[in-house]
Copies of this chain bind each other. A is one copy, B any other.
Amino acid sequence: MKKDIVRKHQGKASVLLRKAGIVITSGEKQRIEVADCGFDDIDNCGLQILVYENNERYCAKELVLFSRQICPEHRHPPIDDKNAGKQETFRCRWGKVFLYVEGEPTPAPKAEVPANYRKHLTVWHEIILRPGDQHTLPPDTKHWFQAGDEGCVVSEFSSASIDEKDIFTDPRVRRIPEIEQD
C-alpha cells in the first residue's frame, strides 16, 4: 500500500474514533495499522487497528472499519501447550458490525460481500453488534466480520495477539505486509 493511502486511512480512522468518543494521542494516530490483507483493495477488504497494549498475557486494541469493509475469515490456532490460541472479546463502541462465527448459518444475512471475497467465507452464523453489545470468540474458531453502512469502532480485548500465526481461509490473504509501511 502506498504511504499516502495509509496516511489517508489513518486520518479517516482517527475521525471515526473521535466520533466514538475515543481520545488517542498524535503518536497513536501515526501508528494506526492499515491492514489491507494483501489485496490492495482497502475500501472493500481490510481494517484499521490501534493496539493499546500487547504483551504475553493480554492484548487490547481498537478496530476501525469503514462502510462495508470486511475482515476476512480466519482463526487463531493453538500456539503451544500453554496457549490454546488467541481468545478474544469484541465490544462494539460505535456503528454496527456484522460478525460471522461457526454455527447454524443465518438465513438472509446482512453482510454484503463481493463475489471475489465471498467464495472464501465458510461460516455464516450471524451476530449483530451495536454499541454496548459484545461477543467472546473461543480460540481456534473461524470468524469474519463486516462493518455496517456507517462503519464501526470495535474494542477488542484478548489474550496475546500473535498475528503472524493467524490462519486465513482465503489462501491469498497476506496479513503481515511483505514490505513495511514505513
Binding site for B on A (CB under 8 A): 20-25, 28, 52-53, 55, 57-60, 82, 87, 89, 91, 93, 131-134, 136, 155, 157-159
Q: Are A53 and B23 in contact (CB under 8 A)?
A: no
List 8 A-B pairs, minimum CB-CB distance, nearest first.
Answer: A21-B21, A60-B157, A23-B131, A58-B58, A23-B132, A57-B159, A53-B89, A25-B132
> What copy number does this chain have within its complex?
2
Q: Out of B20, B22, B57, B159, which one reaches A87, CB within 8 Å?
A: B57
What is the CA–CA distance of A158 and B87 in the complex, to the nearest angstrom?
14
Q: Determine how close the nearest CB of chain B comes to the CB of A148; give it in whole angstroms.
A: 15
Q: Determine how close the nearest CB of chain B comes to the CB of A111; give it in whole angstroms.
A: 23
Q: Are B22 and A157 in contact (CB under 8 A)?
A: no
Q: Are A52 and B134 in contact (CB under 8 A)?
A: yes
Beta-carbon nearest neighbor of A22 in chain B:
B21
